[in-house]
Chain A
Amino acid sequence: AQTVTQSQPEMSVQEAETVTLSCTYDTSESDYYLFWYKQPPSRQMILVIRQEAYKQQNATENRFSVNFQKAAKSFSLKISDSQLGDAAMYFCAYRSAYGGATNKLIFGTGTLLAVQP
């Protein structure tokens, strides 16, 4: 079974600085998707960024980028120029790319990010 591990329960960053959130996963599959979701105090689940395992190029979305290391099964999120609105719980998630019946998202335990003004 696949697992997702986020070893940093809490992180803090100064406004305008850069922070990296860590995520590791375990799977025997060769094709899959990885995601970072943001959950602000409203508790809405907001997709931040996604990565396809077969794509070697790291995904970027404006101030958000990932460092995807497939061999190491690592998928970290870098937030540049941090803003107060970035403060939230961040979940790393895995999904099989084989379609069929098993397409559920498997989440890590989350990292609570605080942004200091």
Chain B
Amino acid sequence: AAGVIQSPRHLIKEKRETATLKCYPIPRHDTVYWYQQGPGQDPQFLISFYEKMQSDKGSIPDRFSAQQFSDYHSELNMSSLELGDSALYFCASSLGLAAETQYFGPGTRLLVL
């Protein structure tokens, strides 16, 4: 079965640079979630989208923005990168907001130097 696809899988950036992370949900899934997992920490919710509209917002810095496109893929744009942004970024998808289960992608490992 098709799973959530994230690209790139690894990314190295310098401080103050910009990064764009992409997420392709499971086919027919219309809801996307972004989570950030710092080293040795649990995943923290950043933001979610349903039918191309933002549905919920967590502890996402103002330097980050995200959107969901008409084909339901989502992009997380991160500007003015800081060392503390180094983390594993997960995307998850579900079929509808009320869906019981969110299916996680493999994550994008971002390293900011």
Q: Which residues of A are in contact with B by a Cβ distance under 8 Å?
A: 33, 35, 37, 42-47, 50, 52, 91, 95, 97, 99-110
Across the two chains, which residue of chain A brings its CB closest to B46? A104
A44–B94 CA distance with the chains assembled, in angstroms: 17
Nearest chain B CB to A68 CB, angstrom units? 15
**Chain A binding site: helix, strand, loop or mixed by DSSP?**
loop
Across the two chains, which residue of chain A brings its CB closest to B98? A99
Within 8 A of A (CB), among B12-56: 31, 33, 35, 37, 41-45, 48, 55-56
Q: Which residues of B are in contact with A by a Cβ distance under 8 Å?
A: 31, 33, 35, 37, 41-45, 48, 55-56, 58, 88, 90, 92, 94, 97-98, 100-104, 106-107, 109
Chain A CB within 10 Å — which of B33, B42, B98, B101 has the most? B42
Q: Hey, which chain A residues are within 8 Å of B107, CB to CB?
A: 43-45
List 11 contacting pairs A-B, 8 Å CB cutoff, sorted by A. A45-B43, A45-B90, A45-B104, A47-B103, A97-B98, A101-B56, A101-B97, A103-B56, A107-B42, A108-B42, A110-B42
Q: Hey, which chain B residues are within 8 Å of A91, CB to CB?
A: 42-43
The answer to whether A104 and B88 have CB atoms under 8 Å apart is: no
Q: Hey, which chain B residues are within 8 Å of A109, CB to CB?
A: 41-42
Q: Hey, which chain A residues are within 8 Å of B35, CB to CB?
A: 105
The answer to whether A105 and B97 have CB atoms under 8 Å apart is: no
A101 CB contact (under 8 Å) in B44, B55, B94, B104:
B55
A50–B99 CA distance with the chains assembled, in angstroms: 13
Chain B CB within 10 Å — which of A97, A104, A105 has the most? A104
A104–B45 CA distance with the chains assembled, in angstroms: 7
A102–B58 CA distance with the chains assembled, in angstroms: 10
Q: Hey, which chain A residues are within 8 Å of B41, CB to CB?
A: 109
